[in-house]
Structure 1
Amino acid sequence: MRVMAWAGRIGRIDPLLVDAASAAGLTAITLLWSAADHSGPWRRPDAVAVLLTCLINLPIALRRRAPVAVLGGCSAAAVCHHLLGYQPTVNNVAVLLAVYTVAVHRPLRTALAAAAAGTAVWWTASAAAAGGLVVLNGVQSLALVGVAAAFGSGVRRLAERNRRLAELTERLRHEQEDRARRAVTEERIRLAGELHDIVAHHMSVISVQAGLARYVFTADPGTARAALDTVAATSHEALEEMRRLLAVLRLDGEPGRDGVYDPTPGLSQLDRLVERVRAAGLTVDVRVTGGVRPLTPGVELCVYRVVQEGLTNVLKHAFPARVRVRLHYGGEQLRVAVADDGAPARATGGSGEHGGTGGSREHGGTGGPGRGGHGLIAMRERVRLYRGTVAAGPRPQGGFEVAVALPLPPAAAGPSSGERGDE
Structure 2
Amino acid sequence: MQSPDRPPVPDRPRTGRARPSGRLRFAQAWFRATVARWRSANPYAVDAALAALVLFAASLQWMFPDEGGERLTWQGWLLGAGTAVPLVWRRRAPFATACAVSVATTAQALHHAPPPDVMYGGLVVLYTTAALCAPGQRRFMLVGWLIGVAVTMRHEHGADPYEYAFQLLSVVCAYALGMLARVQRAYAAELEDRARRLERERTADTERARAQERARIARDMHDILAHAVSLMVVQAEAGPVVVRSDPARAEAAFDAIASTGRDAMTQLRRILGVLKEETGGTISPRSPRPGVAALGELVRQVAESTGLHTELRTSGASHPLPPDTEVAAYRVVQEALTNTVKHAYASSAVVELDWTEDGLTLTVTDDGRGPATGADGDGGHGLIGIRERASACGGAAEAGRGPDGGFRVVVRLPTAVERQAALG
SS at 1:381 equivalent: coil
Is structure 2 residue 100 aligned with structure 1 residue 103? no
**Equivalent residues of 1:100, 1:152 under 8 A apart:** yes
Aligned partner (choices 15, 22, 41) of residue 43 of structure 2: 15
What is the count of residue pairs matched by the alignment? Answer: 264
In the TM superposition, residue 79 of structure 1 has moved relative to its aligned partner by 1.5
Residue in structure 1 matched with residue 120 of structure 2 by the alignment: 93
The offset of 1:186, in angstroms, is 2.4
Cross-structure match for 2:92: 65
- Contact 2:58–2:81 at 8 Å: present in 1 too? no
Q: Which residue of 1 aligns with 2:187?
A: 161
- 1:400 alignment partner in structure 2: none
1:141 aligns with 2:167: yes
160, 173, 177: which one aligns with 2:203 = 177
Could you tell me whether the CA contact under 8 Å between 1:88 and 1:125 is conserved in 2? no
Give the equivalent residue in structure 1 for 2:378.
381
Instruction: For 2:54, give the aligned amino acid.
Output: L
Q: 1:141 Cα shift?
A: 1.4
Counterpart selection for 2:77 from 27, 47, 50: 50
2:48–2:87 contact (8 Å) kept in structure 1: yes
Partner in structure 1 of residue 408 of structure 2: none
Q: Is the 8 A contact 1:78 1:121 kept in 2?
A: no
Per the TM alignment, residue 67 of structure 1 is displaced from its structure 2 partner at its CA by: 1.3
Tell me the CA shift for residue 94 of structure 1: 0.8
Report the counterpart of residue 199 of structure 1 in structure 2: 225
Amino acid at match of 1:95: G
AA partner of residue 173 (structure 1): E
C-alpha change, 1:247 and 1:138, in structure 2 (3 Å) is same
Distance across 1 between alignment mates of 2:109 and 2:218: 84
Task: From the superposition, tell whether residues 207 and 109 of structure 1 become closer, same or farther in structure 2 (CA, over 3 Å).
Answer: same
Counterpart residue identity of residue 192, structure 2: A
1:28 equivalent among 48, 53, 56: 56
Shift of 1:122: 3.4
CA contact (8 A) 1:82 1:124 kept: no
Q: What is the TM-score of this pair, normalised by structure 2?
A: 0.53
CA contact (8 A) 1:23 1:61 kept: yes
- The residue identity in structure 1 corresponding to 2:82 is L
Deviations 1:206-258 (A, max 9, x none): 234334543443355455445424423422442453465468689x9xxxxxx
Q: Return structure 1 stretches of 4+ with deviation > 3 angstroms.
A: 1-10, 37-41, 120-130, 218-227, 239-250, 383-386
Identity of aligned residues (%): 27
Q: 1:355 to 1:16 in 2, by over 3 A?
A: closer
Secondary structure, aligned partner of 1:38? helix
In structure 1, runs of 5+ residues without a counterpart are: 253-353, 357-375, 387-423
Counterpart-to-counterpart distance in 1, 2:139 and 2:241: 99
Decide whether the 8 Å contact of 2:130 with 2:175 is kept in 1.
Answer: yes
1:111/1:153 contact within 8 Å kept: no
* RMSD between aligned residues: 3.8
1:125 offset after TM fit, Å?
A: 5.4
| Paired AA for residue 105 in structure 1 | L
Deviation at 1:39, TM superposition (A): 4.6
Q: Deviations over 1:321-376 (max 9, x none)?
A: xxxxxxxxxxxxxxxxxxxxxxxxxxxxxxxxx999xxxxxxxxxxxxxxxxxxx9
Distance 2:228 2:106 in 1: 95
Unaligned runs of 5+ in 2: 1-25, 279-369, 384-424
Give deviations 1:280-321, integer Å, cap 9, x for gaps.
xxxxxxxxxxxxxxxxxxxxxxxxxxxxxxxxxxxxxxxxxx
1:155-304 matched pairs, under 5 angstroms: 155-219=181-245, 221=247, 224-242=250-268, 245=271
For residue 258 of structure 1, what is the aligned residue in structure 2?
Answer: none
Secondary structure of the residue aligned to 2:379 is helix
Judge conservation of contact 1:213–1:227 (CA < 8 Å) in 2: yes
- Of the three residues 154, 162, 177, the one matched with 1:127 is 154
Distance 1:183 1:171, change over 3 A: same
Tell me how far 1:165 sits from its aligned partner.
Answer: 3.2
Deviates more, 1:145-154 or 1:165-174: 165-174
Confirm or deny: 8 A CA contact 2:76 2:112 kept in the other structure.
Answer: no
SS of equivalent to 2:112: coil
